[in-house]
Amino acid sequence: MKKSIILSVVVSTIVMAGGVIVDQEVSPVVIEPTPPISINSFGQALKEGKFTARTRTFYFDRSFDKDKTGKADAQALTFGGIMKYEMASYHGFKFGLAYYGSTRIGGFFSREEGAGTSILGRQGQDLGFLGEAYLQGDFGNTMLKVGRQQLSTPLIQNHDLRILPSVYEAAILRNKSLSNTMIEVGYVWAYTGFTSKDNKFNDYNAKWGEDGLGYISFSNKSIDNLKIRGQYVKAVSDKDKADTTIAIDDYRYLDAKYSIPVGDNTYIKGQYGGNAYNNAKDSYLWGAKVGTTFGMVDMALLYDEIVDNDFKAVESGPMYSDWQQGYGRYEPSKAVGGQIIIKPLAGLSLKFGYVDVASDKADLIDDFTEFNFDGKYTINDYSKIRVRYSIKDQSKASEKLRFDGIEGNGGREDRDDFRIIYYLNF
């Protein structure tokens, strides 16, 4: 009953905000480029600054097998997003401020039900904080940005899969002077946690060390049909504020994509990653992916393997086989899977994925199969709707460990996730 009410509310929101979805052919509109505005004063730079809003109406339902787990489903319906002002550039400098928020809609679900959805706070409370506050300088091919900001690197990124992205307090320097090359160095000292549900910026010193993380990231497209990117992240200190040695000393990642001139959009990709542990074996990740396009269908096969120890990213796992988690540890395991993306209409994308992950560790945390559906429809240039559904089925051996009554003995429960998101940007 609740789900049908939620669906009705979301559909009503779509109709009110974007109108009825109609697939029609539209004649192209030719827009003459607007000449750049000459900024002659700081006051004019403030006046010519830009206000934007990226809002989402988000319904999330995570359900468990109550006969096994006794867990209540996690459910929430919220409205939120990012309201931002960015000043126009003045002598190469500008600043940005953005409010991040997520508010429960109505009384459909309790705060307790919302706590496990990651679209509200850890106790199901509304979210609201200053998510971005940065100063940026652009000088030719070099950009310097300091303060609260989103990051976009292979191992440290915004992980924007719920209502709010993850955000960092950081200083970054990006340069594009070399042909077809981008190099970025950065220092990160705090962040808002997975999907910003911390509702504030924490220093995470128990994981990162008391002095934060330094990194270098790059991408290169100098060779025809080949794109390479990578990142190295290092804990500045190997001790936390309690003078305890942190587990992971560094994070490494490299991947390459080669476009094969056969058929349409045919490619092969490879990836390598790992961590250096302070008092344990290092971890290693490697994987491969191959894909092509036939008409309106994109398809791909993938393989990933993690060996020797758990692999961790700072935020958002880059593995080809990981579609949802992106923040926790990944056990030594082997994963094989595939995906099909169908684009039957302009603006409509239907993605189907399947992966089988076999753990090589006694804990059997990452020992499951997962089916994943992700459907997107662009209504117009300022709104779209997205429906996601996944079924994560742990192996019988994993479930047995989970429910054997021994605390911390491993395993994990099955879960189904269902999401409806309506995006409205202006």
CATH 1.10.287.90 fits 2-18+47-425, yes or no: no
Provide the mean pLDDT of the chain: 90
pLDDT at 23 over 70: no
In the predicted model, what is the mean pLDDT of residues 55-76?
85
Nearest to 238 by CA among 201, 203, 206: 206
Gap between the Cα atoms of 287 and 204, Å rounded:
29
* Confidence band for 13, pLDDT divided at 50, 70 and 90: very low
Q: What would you measure as the largest C-alpha separation in the chain, in angstroms?
A: 71
Gap between the Cα atoms of 348 and 297, Å rounded:
12
**Residue 179 has which token pair?**
């042909």
pLDDT at 140 over 50: yes
Nearest to 117 by CA among 157, 86, 162: 162
Gap between the Cα atoms of 336 and 319, Å rounded:
11
DSSP string, 87-144: PPPBTTEEEEEEEEEEEE-TTSS-HHHHTTSSSS-TTS--EEEEEEEEEEEEETTEEE
Task: Identify the pLDDT of residue 9.
Answer: 41
What stretches of 226-345 adopt beta strand conformation (E)?
Answer: 226-235, 248-260, 264-277, 283-294, 297-307, 333-342
> 244-263: per-residue pLDDT in tens?
999 999 999 999 999 998 88
Q: Where are the domains of the chain?
A: 2-18+47-425
The count of other CB atoms within 10 Å of the CB of residue 173 is 15
E strand or H helix at 47, and its extent?
helix 42-47
Gap between the Cα atoms of 275 and 423, Å rounded:
36
β-partners of residue 78 are: 58, 104
Q: 169, 145 in Cβ contact below 8 A?
A: no
Gap between the Cα atoms of 204 and 212, Å rounded:
8
pTM, two decimals, is 0.88
Gap between the Cα atoms of 112 and 120, Å rounded:
10
> 145-202: per-residue pLDDT in tens?
999 999 999 999 999 989 999 999 999 999 999 999 999 999 999 999 999 999 999 9
Q: 260, 267 in Cβ contact below 8 A?
A: yes
> 284-308: per-residue pLDDT in tens?
999 999 999 999 999 999 999 999 9
**Residue 72 has which token pair?**
């209540």
Task: Identify the pLDDT of residue 403.
Answer: 83
**Residue 4 has which token pair?**
């049908």
Residue 194 has phi, psi (to 5 degrees) of -55, 125
**How far is residue 33 CA from its own chain's centroid?**
33
**Separate counts of helices (H) and strands (E) for the chain:** 6, 18
Q: 269, 241 in Cβ contact below 8 A?
A: no
Q: 76, 113 in Cβ contact below 8 A?
A: yes
The count of other CB atoms within 10 Å of the CB of residue 143 is 16
Q: What is the CA radius of gyration of the chain?
A: 23
**Residue 215 has which token pair?**
């990194």
In the predicted model, what is the mean pLDDT of residues 95-101?
98
